Amino acid sequence: MIGEESIVAAGALVAQNKVYPPRSLLVGTPAKLIRTLSDEEFLKVRENTKEYWEFAHDLASGKQTIN
């Protein structure tokens, strides 16, 4: 089980029945807990996710184009 608000790196292989705490940064094969995300890091990730989603939505709706 991967704790809430965690980040799993691309290509990481999470073992079945392994338990990780909230806000874990998981990397590798097999996935290893590198460290816990700070409040500042978590808020930055959330902010970047929101901006990316808004950009994708604007592209899909035609409000924005890529030149």
CA–CA gap between residue 22 and residue 3 (Å, rounded): 4
CB-based contact 20:34 (threshold 8 Å)? no
CB-based contact 24:41 (threshold 8 Å)? no
Residue 42 has pLDDT above 80, yes or no: yes
Beta-carbon neighbour count of residue 15 at 10 Å? 8
Which strands sit side by side in the sheet containing 24-27, from one edge to the other?
7-8, 24-27, 32-36
Helix and strand totals (H; E) in the chain: 1, 3
Residue 66 has pLDDT above 90, yes or no: no
Whole-number average pLDDT of the chain? 94
pLDDT digits (tens, 9 = 90+) for 5-24: 999 999 999 999 999 999 99
